[in-house]
Structure 1
Amino acid sequence: MTRSPLWLALPSRFAALSRTQARIVLSVLAALLLASLTVLGVPHPAPDASGAGGDRQTDVALYEGIVAAVTHGQDYYRAAADALRAGSYPLRPFLTFRLPGLAVVQAALPPAATLALLYALAAVTGFVWYRRLAEALPGLAARLFALFLLAAGMLAFVQPALIAFHEIWAGLLVALSLALRRPGKWVEAAAIALIAMLVRETAALYVVIMCALAFVEGQRREAIGWGAALGVFAVVLAAHAVAVQGVTGALDAASPGWTGMHGFGLFVRAMTLATGLQLLPAAAAALLVALTLFGWASWRNSLALRAAAIFCAYAVVISLFARLDTFYWGLLIAPAFLAGLAFVPDGLRDLAARALDRRRVRVQRIEQ
C-alpha cells in the first residue's frame, strides 16, 4: 500500500522501487554522503604572482577595468588584452578572454541601470522557479521552505560587487531557461540559454544536456532547437577566437590548463561557496550538497530529471577539470541547486520504506 506523500503532491521516484532496488539506492546515497566529505581534504588555492589564486574579487576588478576601458571608447579585445597583461593573467588559449557581450552591454548602460537589470533578472528567475516548485509542493510549509532554499541559493547573485562577474549573469540565465522549459514549450528556454552561452561559454554544457535529453525522449524539434543554439554559439566562439588571435602573440602567458583532477570534493566546495551553505560548518555543508543531489533524483518530474542530469554533469566537469582557483564554475548551477533539499523528506521516507519492506505474498489453498 502506497503511503501518502509528506510534502510532494505525488509519491517520489523511489516509491515504486523493489526492496532490492531501494537497498542499492541507499548504498549509493551512503557512498555519495561519504564522498562529499572528501572536501575536507581538498586544499585551498594559494595566491599566485598576480594575487588571483583564490581571490575572486581580483577577477571582478579585472572585468570592471575592462568595462571602464570600453566605456571610454577602447576596443573590447584590446582593452581585455591590456588588462590581462597588466594583471599577469594568461592570454592563451583564446578561452582566457571572456566573450565581449556582457562588457559591451555594461559599458553602454549606466551602472544603476545595469544593477536594476541584474535585480530584475534575479527576481524573475526566483519567481519562475517558485511557481514550478509550488506545482509539486502543495503545502504551505513546503513552499516556504522551497522559497527559503531559493533565496539561499541566490545570495551571491544579488551582490552589487559581483555585477561584472560573468558567472553571475550566466547562472541566472541558465536557471531561468531550465525553469521555463516544459514539454512542447522550449523556444524561450533555448533562446535564453543561447544568451547564457554568449555571456559565459561554460553554459554550453547545459545546452548539450538539454539537447541530448530532448533527443532521447523523441522530441526531435526540440533537440534541433537546442542544437541550433549550439550552432550559433559555435560560430560566435570561432569569431571570438579569431579576434583574440589578433591581439595576442606567442610571448603572452599561457593558461596552466584545466586538468585539476581534484575530485568530487572540489565540486562540493564549489557549491558550498556559491550558495548560503558557506555559512555552515564544512562537514554539514558537504552532507547537504550530497542530499541536494539525492533530492533532485527523488522528484518524479521531467524538470527534476533535467536538473539532476545538469547538476551531475557539472559535478563531473568540476571534479575532473576545474582548478582550485576555478571553483566559481559552480555559480553556473547555483541559483536553483539547493531547492532539491525540499524533496529529500519524501525521497528518504519512500526509500527507507521500500528498503525495509518485508511483506510476503501468501497463497492459501481452500479445499471444499
Structure 2
Amino acid sequence: MSDESRFATISSRGATWVLALLLLLVAASVWFAVSKPSLQAQPIAIVKSVQQAQTQEVGGDDIRLYKAIVERMRAGENYYAVAVEEQRARGFPTQPFVTVRLPTLAFVLASLGTMWGHVLEIAIALAALYVWYQKLAAYKIIQWRRWALIALLAAGLSPVVNPKIIYMHEIWAGALIALSIGLYRPKAWLPSFLIAACALALRELVLPFVLLMAAFALLQRRWIETGAWSGLILAFFGYMFLHAQGVASVVQPNEPSAPSWMLANGPAAALHFLWQSLPLSELPAILAFPMIIIGLFGWVCWRTETGLFCLLLLLGYMLAFAITGRPNNFYWGYLVSPLLMMGFIFLGPGLQDLQAALKRGNPKASE
C-alpha cells in the first residue's frame, strides 16, 4: 500500500521539473563540496574517536570534559560546581549558561555507571530498529525494503556501539528521536511522547523536534495530544530556567563567553554537519554531499505522514545548521543523522513513477 510514491499521479511536465530540480541540487552539493575547504579542514577529534575506537584512547576535549564531570559526580560532588570548574580549567567558556550541558545525562551515567549506561544506550538503539520494522510492516512496505531500512538505520545509529563516546549527548538524543518517531501512532502517542520528553531532557537542541510533533498534532486537531506537547514545551522552559539558575550560582560575571554561533555558513555547513555525523564521513565530501541530497529526496518520495514528518525534520535541522553553529559543532548532526540514509529505500518507487510519467508524455519512448 505505501510502496506507492508521492509521484504516482504526477504529470510528465511535473516529472521533468522534479528530476531537473534533483539534478540541480546534486550539482550544487558537488559545488559546495569542492568550494568550502575551510569547513572540512577543522580538527574532528570526535569522529577520529569513533573511527579509531579500537586502537586509541578517547579523543576530543568535549568527551574528556564530560567524562571528568561524571567521574567526579560519582565521587559525590555537585554537578554545577564540577561542570563549571572543569570547563574553566580546560579553557572552555562558561557563559552564556547554555555552554554548560543540561545535567540529565551526567546524572544517568553517574547513577548507572558507564557499563550499564552503555547497555541502556544500545538498548535504545535496538528498540528503535524494532519499532521501525513494525512501523513499516503496518504501512505494508514489502519485506526486503523493511530490512534495507533497518540496515540503514543501524548504520546511522552505529556510534552507540562505541563505549568511548557514551558521554556525547547528541548521540543519545538522536537515538531517542529515532525511537520516538518509530513508536508514534496517532491513537497511541503516549509512548512516543515519553521518549521525546527523555530526549528533550538530555539536550535542548531536541526542541525543534518536539515543536514539529506539536505542530502536526495541532494541524490534525488532536487536541489532547496537542495539549500534552504544549505542556512538555512549557516544562522544558521551566527546566531551562532552573538550569540557568544553577549555572549562575557558580559562574563569576567576568568569566569568558563563547563566541557567537550565528555564523550563517550556509548550505555547505548543513551538509558538512550531516556528513561528519554519518558513516559517510569515510567518503570524500564530493561523494557524500550528493548522497545526502539523494537521501533527502527519498523522504520526498514516500507518500505518508511519517515520510513528510521526517523530511521536514531533516530540512528544519539543516536550515538551523546553515544559520548557526561553528564547524567544530558538527556533532549536532547526530540529532537527526540516523534518519537520513533511511530515505534511500523509498527512492525506487519514486524514480519508477517519475520514469513512467516521462514515458506517458513521450509515447515514442514506450514503443
Mark the CA change 1:111 to 1:36 in structure 2 (over 3 Å): closer, same or farther. same
Show CA shifts across 1:239-279 (max 9, x none): 11111111112221111111121222222222222121122
Mark the CA change 1:134 to 1:262 in structure 2 (over 3 Å): closer, same or farther. farther
What secondary structure sits across from 1:16 in the alignment?
coil
RMSD: 2.3
Q: Does residue 186 of structure 2 align to residue 177 of structure 1? A: no
Alignment partner of 1:41 out of 25, 35, 40: 35
2:15–2:354: 8 Å Cα contact kept in structure 1? Answer: yes
Shift of 1:45: 5.3
Q: Could you tell me how far apart the structure 2 residues matched to 1:346 and 1:187 are?
A: 32
Shift of 1:140: 4.1
Q: Does residue 192 of structure 2 align to residue 199 of structure 1? A: no
Q: 1:221 maps to what in 2?
A: 224
Alignment partner of 1:238 out of 241, 246, 250: 241
Q: Does residue 73 of structure 2 align to residue 70 of structure 1? A: yes
2:2–2:303: 8 Å Cα contact kept in structure 1? Answer: no
Q: Could you tell me how far apart the structure 2 residues matched to 1:231 and 1:323 are?
A: 29
Letter of the 1:13 counterpart? R
Alignment partner of 2:163 out of 146, 160, 164: 160
Letter of the 2:175 counterpart? L
Q: Could you tell me how far apart the structure 2 residues matched to 1:130 and 1:337 are?
A: 16
Q: 1:358 maps to what in 2?
A: 361
Q: 1:22 maps to what in 2?
A: 15
What secondary structure sits across from 2:60 in the alignment?
helix
Mark the CA change 1:158 to 1:263 in structure 2 (over 3 Å): closer, same or farther. same
Letter of the 1:12 counterpart? S
Q: Could you tell me how far apart the structure 2 residues matched to 1:35 and 1:207 are?
A: 31
TM-score by length of structure 2 reads 0.89
2:3–2:349: 8 Å Cα contact kept in structure 1? Answer: no
Shift of 1:185: 2.2
Shift of 1:155: 1.5
- Range 106-115 or range 315-324, more displaced: 106-115
- Range 124-133 or range 137-146, more displaced: 137-146
1:191–1:229: 8 Å Cα contact kept in structure 2? Answer: no
Q: 1:11 maps to what in 2?
A: 4
Q: Could you tell me how far apart the structure 2 residues matched to 1:180 and 1:211 are?
A: 16
1:167–1:332: 8 Å Cα contact kept in structure 2? Answer: yes
Q: 1:60 maps to what in 2?
A: 63
Larger radius of gyration: 1
Show CA shifts across 1:278-309 (max 9, x none): 22232221111001110011111111111111
Q: Does residue 352 of structure 2 align to residue 349 of structure 1? A: yes
Mark the CA change 1:143 to 1:124 in structure 2 (over 3 Å): closer, same or farther. same
Q: 2:260 maps to what in 1?
A: 257
Shift of 1:107: 0.8
Letter of the 2:185 counterpart? R
1:260–1:322: 8 Å Cα contact kept in structure 2? Answer: yes
Q: 1:100 maps to what in 2?
A: 103
Show CA shifts across 1:329-358 (max 9, x none): 110012232111100111122123224532
Mark the CA change 1:225 to 1:194 in structure 2 (over 3 Å): closer, same or farther. same
- Range 256-265 or range 34-43, more displaced: 34-43
Q: Which runs of 4+ in 1 moved over 6 A?
A: none
1:129–1:336: 8 Å Cα contact kept in structure 2? Answer: no
Letter of the 1:128 counterpart? V
Shift of 1:153: 0.9
1:39–1:264: 8 Å Cα contact kept in structure 2? Answer: no
Shift of 1:195: 1.1
1:35–1:265: 8 Å Cα contact kept in structure 2? Answer: no
Alignment partner of 2:288 out of 285, 290, 312: 285
Mark the CA change 1:35 to 1:227 in structure 2 (over 3 Å): closer, same or farther. farther
Q: 1:5 maps to what in 2?
A: none
Q: Could you tell me how far apart the structure 2 residues matched to 1:72 and 1:45 are?
A: 39
Q: Could you tell me how far apart the structure 1 residues matched to 2:106 and 2:123 are?
A: 18
- Range 12-21 or range 130-139, more displaced: 130-139
1:133–1:146: 8 Å Cα contact kept in structure 2? Answer: no
Q: Could you tell me how far apart the structure 2 residues matched to 1:64 and 1:208 are?
A: 31
Alignment partner of 1:32 out of 25, 39, 54: 25
Unaligned runs of 5+ in 2: 50-58
Shift of 1:146: 1.8
Q: 1:320 maps to what in 2?
A: 323
Shift of 1:199: 0.3
Paired-residue identity, %: 32
TM-score by length of structure 1 reads 0.89
